[in-house]
Amino acid sequence: MKKLLLVGFMIIGTLVGAQAQTTLNTAVDFTVYDVQNNDQHTLNEYLTEGKHVMLFFFFTDCSSCVDAIPDLRAIHYLYGSNNHQVAMLAIENGHSNAEVAQFAQQHSLQFPVISGNDGGGNQVTGDYNILTHPTMILIAPDKEVIYQDLHPISESSIVSALSLKNLYPIFPVSSQELTVTDPQLTLFPNPAHISADVQFYLNGNQQVEIELMNILGSQVRSYVPNNTQSGLNQLTLSVADLPEGHYFLRLIIDGRESTVSKLVITH
């Protein structure tokens, strides 16, 4: 069983393996091909774009790897489906394109999946000295391997670990275009201990709702301020009874999202 190290981020209790599953501190570049479309994926290209790259090392006969898949699908969605700050690649070991493609289809994998024998996965697994499956690592744009073993591989643990590196889930915004006159939301103090004051501007007599969400995107509380007015408005939110961690406040004006701001709660 892997040794575990408790990370000092207590909202969910993220655990990162104390015994590194890769020995690398600096990433090794590679070029591989996915089983879905035979598209080419080069690590340095992702890093040059400023993305953090998560590599999920697995093989198709690994039951623990299969158990992690629902969480991986959730992470892929929460972080923008490889189109924002975080990209995910699944690196298989020991099987052919046909076998891994069947696996990817069976488990509805939308992120790139690389077979071991045909797509280049065996080489990457060897270069990173991966001996235990499943293993997930995180590589920063400067090529530093900042997590040598993200464990356990679960939605809550990974979101917590990424949040420690200021990598947050992507929340969908309204399809209605925002303008420069849209209201802004500010928070202070931030981090908050007992309460936080929320300030926002309105352009007129508008309906306002403020949602407090955890880092998984689940609503914790909802506020509908009374007696709002055109111009500056302020609302005090009590947070003394909420667990420490990272949260988000959504300002919703007339039914559409206007602003999302981060709130850190410490006690």
Give the start-to-end residue ranges of the domains of the chain. 4-164, 185-265
**Main-chain phi, psi angles of 61, to 5 degrees:** -95, 10
Asked if the bond preceding 225 is cis, omega within 30° of 0, the reply is: no
Average pLDDT per consecutive 10 residues, the chain (267 residues; last block may be shorter): 32 42 95 97 97 98 94 87 94 98 94 98 97 96 96 84 82 36 69 88 88 84 90 90 86 82 83
pTM, whole model, 2 decimals?
Answer: 0.64
* pLDDT recorded at residue 114: 98
- Please give the radius of gyration of the chain, using alpha carbons only, rounded to the nearest integer: 21
Give the CATH fold of the 185-265 domain.
Immunoglobulin-like (2.60.40)
Give the CATH fold of the 4-164 domain.
Glutaredoxin (3.40.30)
* pLDDT recorded at residue 53: 98
Contact between 212 and 249 (Cβ < 8 Å): yes
Residue of 173, 124, 131, 166 whose CA lies nearest to 149: 131
* pLDDT recorded at residue 180: 33
Interatomic CA distance for residues 85 and 81, integer angstroms: 10
Question: Biggest alpha carbon distance in the chain?
Answer: 65
Q: Is 170 helix (H, G, I), strand (E, B) or coil?
A: coil
* pLDDT recorded at residue 215: 76
Interatomic CA distance for residues 42 and 40, integer angstroms: 7
Q: Is 186 helix (H, G, I), strand (E, B) or coil?
A: strand
* pLDDT recorded at residue 134: 96
Half-sphere exposure of 134 (CA within 13 A, CB side): 25
* pLDDT recorded at residue 20: 59
* pLDDT recorded at residue 244: 84
Residue of 203, 215, 267, 259 whose CA lies nearest to 241: 267
What spatial distance separates the first Cα and last Cα of the chain, rounded to whole Å? 33
Q: Is 150 helix (H, G, I), strand (E, B) or coil?
A: strand
